[in-house]
Chain A
């Protein structure tokens, strides 16, 4: 079955990103895959409120704001998903008694929003210069009613899917033997173990492609700045 937007099953939508477009935030990024678009601002390390500060590390706080309406439990869930994915990969012990605040604003959600939220957070943290153990990139797969598996599904595809799966990986090739497992997994619906494994492999490859895309974007920005300061 061909996809409504004529993509191959393993093909991502057109990716787009930009870094550092916000002035007030210490770091910011925008990431979009097709019509799904998110923007993120990061503040940190800033002073934590006395009642939430940790004496040995920085506190990581995530706020996810939907495009339409007030935040719901679904958005709270997204906040905890992003926080738990990044909390252990940020070198929080370098900045004790501080806060790293990540705000994610959904511009438009057309499927695969959770992976977009993770990807934009990676970019914004890098832009803010927050020390990270690794880059984290994510991808989503959907198993459709005809048993085909598609990467980076649109909302229309997700609505018709039997199951959807999102995986986030640390940078470093996940296909290599020394690779770490996924940092974040979210599977919904009814699926077999084989389907799950297939989605894992597809998402691992897709996440690698997202990383390569981000690398190009970051390299572009860094090289531009380096040229100016060298001149």
Chain B
């Protein structure tokens, strides 16, 4: 990760590969020259333009380009794990606040082992861990609390006990990795459970209230700390306990 080129909206991106820039002959459009644009980039007339601020990334194997920046407002994307709060119950399912512009739909039967006769009954205010299955700009998102291919919960479902808090989407994405410095440091000191929603909501639970608070605050504090600072911060918190 040598490149840390920061782009701003409106910046034109030079997507030519290094060897291309030396060649003068016109580039033939084939599979090798097709570039794929990820988040933060659009094609405006002939040029590739950034639309959000962040670090420009590219993968030379797939020729994919994208911009990585931090945000706080979630925009749903298929396959992503999210932590949501049930805000209403309708005939066909629950409406769940996942922090995106529109509430997500959670069908009544989208749980492990749920049948028409036997299905979970969630109260308004219940916290659920789910996976986004429908996400596009014209429809409300939809989530489910099991893997519909295997029929197993795979860790998704109602989150009872414990505590939930919000963080930036950038931090949430870092926490998805179990090797995230703050989680690794905490894990070596105290046992706890964690469910990370990439929508910037994190649920934690430990054997007692004090430990849960400690874990929650350590994760919240890690927003602007690097790996070394994380370990130091966790160490100090654990010593205080």
Q: Give the CA-CA distance A126 to B8 in the complex, in Å.
A: 8
Interface size in chain B (residues, C-beta < 8 A): 38
Secondary structure type dominating chain A contacts: mixed
Q: Mark B39-54, 1 if CB is under 8 A from A, else 0.
A: 0101010000101111
Q: Mark A43-55, 1 if CB is under 8 A from B, else 0.
A: 1111100000000
Q: Give the CA-CA distance A215 to B7 in the complex, in Å.
A: 9
Choose among A44, A96, A129 the residue that contacts B52 (Cβ–Cβ < 8 A).
A129
Q: Is A6 an interface residue (CB 8 A)?
A: no
Beta-carbon nearest neighbor of B68 in chain A: A226
- B55 to A134, Cβ gap below 8 A? no
- A45 to B8, Cβ gap below 8 A? no
Interface residues on chain A, size class: 35 or more
Beta-carbon nearest neighbor of A28 in chain B: B72
Query: Which residues from B are CB-within-8-Å of A131?
Result: 9, 40, 42, 51-52
- A96 to B72, Cβ gap below 8 A? no
Choose among B10, B138, B170 the residue that contacts A229 (Cβ–Cβ < 8 A).
B170
- A133 to B226, Cβ gap below 8 A? no
Query: Which residues from A are CB-within-8-Å of B173?
Result: 229
Query: Which residues from A are CB-within-8-Å of B49?
Result: 133
* Centre residue among A46, A134, A215, A222 by max chain B CB count within 10 A: A222
- A128 to B138, Cβ gap below 8 A? no
Contacts of A202-231 to chain B: CB distance below 8 A: 214-215, 218-219, 222-231
Q: Mark B211-224, 1 if CB is under 8 A from A, else 0.
A: 00000000000001
Q: Mark B74-95, 1 if CB is under 8 A from A, else 0.
A: 0100000000000000000000
Q: Is B69 an interface residue (CB 8 A)?
A: yes
Choose among B11, B51, B73, B224 the residue that contacts A44 (Cβ–Cβ < 8 A).
B73
Contacts of A41-76 to chain B: CB distance below 8 A: 43-47
- A218 to B53, Cβ gap below 8 A? yes
**Min C-beta distance of B196 to chain A, whole Å:** 14
Query: Which residues from A are CB-within-8-Å of B55?
Result: 222-223, 226
Q: Give the CA-CA distance A142 to B44 in the complex, in Å.
A: 36
Q: Is B152 an interface residue (CB 8 A)?
A: no
Query: Which residues from B are CB-within-8-Å of A35?
Result: none
- A129 to B69, Cβ gap below 8 A? yes
Q: Give the CA-CA distance A22 to B208 in the complex, in Å.
A: 32
Beta-carbon nearest neighbor of B54 in chain A: A222
Query: Which residues from A are CB-within-8-Å of B69?
Result: 129, 222
Q: Give the CA-CA distance A61 to B1 in the complex, in Å.
A: 39
Choose among B8, B68, B181 the residue that contacts A218 (Cβ–Cβ < 8 A).
B8
- B8 to A96, Cβ gap below 8 A? no
Q: Is B227 an interface residue (CB 8 A)?
A: yes
Q: Is B137 an interface residue (CB 8 A)?
A: yes
- A126 to B226, Cβ gap below 8 A? no
- 5 cross-chain pairs, A with B, having the tightest CB-CB distances, nearest first: A134-B10, A129-B71, A132-B9, A131-B51, A171-B10
Q: Which residues of A contact B (CB under 8 A)?
A: 26-27, 43-47, 91, 94-99, 126, 128-135, 170-172, 214-215, 218-219, 222-231
Q: Which residues of B contact A (CB under 8 A)?
A: 1, 4, 6, 8-12, 40, 42, 44, 49, 51-55, 68-73, 75, 101-103, 137-138, 170, 173-174, 181, 224-228
Chosen A-B contacts, 23 in total, with CB atoms closer than 8 Å, are A27-B71, A45-B73, A45-B75, A47-B101, A91-B42, A91-B51, A95-B75, A95-B137, A96-B137, A97-B102, A98-B102, A126-B53, A129-B69, A129-B71, A133-B10, A134-B10, A222-B6, A223-B4, A226-B68, A229-B68, A230-B1, A231-B227, A231-B228
7 further interface pairs, Cβ-Cβ under 8 Å (given A26-B72, A44-B101, A133-B10): A26-B73, A27-B71, A45-B101, A134-B10, A135-B10, A214-B8, A227-B4
